[in-house]
Amino acid sequence: MASPPTKLFLHDHPVSSYAQKVRLALREKNIPFDFETPQGFGSGQRPKGLSEANPRLEVPALLDGDVKLFDSTVILQYLEDKWPESALLPKDPAQKAKVRMLEDVCDTHYEAINWAYGEINLFNRATGELREKLIKQIEGQTDTIISYLAKQLGSKPYFNGDDFGYGDICVAPMYNRSVAYGLGAPAGSPLAEWHKRIREREHVKTTFAEMEQGIEKMKGLGKVFREQNFKREYRDHRLEWMVKSGKLMPVFVVTGM
């Protein structure tokens, strides 16, 4: 049984859905770790610890002794390989592939939709007619992906099947953001009941609470970002969302969440 000689360290941000995935996986596997948001993260600086762990200056980035990893999918795969005795992935190859596809959809499509909604509502990146147009698109896009997730869940209690696992960890941070924005599935629906069920899990409850606290701290930062006119760096799928939605939002801040 593999066990870390010292605690792992996670470069983190409480609101990042990708970082939430990693915190959930570490907690579900009962792997001790410390975590911290890099000092100066999102300000255009190059935080030393983060820049050494991830040249893209994005969180999450995980340190396990001399091993330095970035990208939430890579990190989760590493945790599965090193600590297989507390496996999160299903054993069945077909089901394993299914939850990995869920992860890909959530990471490259769903996250961008949530991100755009947050940018508009937290940072006022769009106003007036543009805001109304983008919000309407986001609501439609969210409905579409929630319908997809509902079909994938079906009548199962969890995306992993009978037990909470990898698929649930990958969907949970993304769907919870929709719920926080008032865009979740109807009350009483299987997806809403799944969300209610997982929120009762100790590690999920802790991780979601960290996200909620992080959002509160981020409110009001839009004005600061605009006044300081920071440059903007985009994850590729977020840039793709803006192109497909027909509008590039104003440039003012660097982020690696």
Query: What is the set of domains in the chain, with CATH numbers?
Result: 8-86 (3.40.30.10), 106-244 (1.20.1050.10)
Q: State how far the alpha carbon of 9 is from the alpha carbons of 22, 60, 62, 70, 202, in Å.
A: 11, 10, 6, 12, 21
List the one residue out of 21, 49, 15 whose CA is nearest residue 212. Answer: 15
Contact 54, 70 (CB under 8 A): yes
Residue 29, pLDDT score? 97
Model's pTM, two decimal places?
A: 0.89
Gap between the Cα atoms of 190 and 142, Å rounded: 16
Contact 152, 159 (CB under 8 A): yes
Beta bridge partners of 61: 11, 70
Residue 220, pLDDT score? 66
Residue 7, pLDDT score? 86
pLDDT in tens, 174-183: 999 999 999 9
Residue 226, pLDDT score? 61
The stretches in the chain having pLDDT less than 50 are 4, 251-255
* Segments of the chain assigned E as strands: 8-11, 33-36, 61-64, 67-70
Residue 254, pLDDT score? 40
Q: Give the DSSP letter of residue 35.
A: E
Angle between helices 236-244 and 111-123 (to 10 degrees): 80
Indicate the SS3 state at residue 44: coil
Q: Where are the alpha helices (DSSP H) in 29-92?
A: 48-53, 72-82
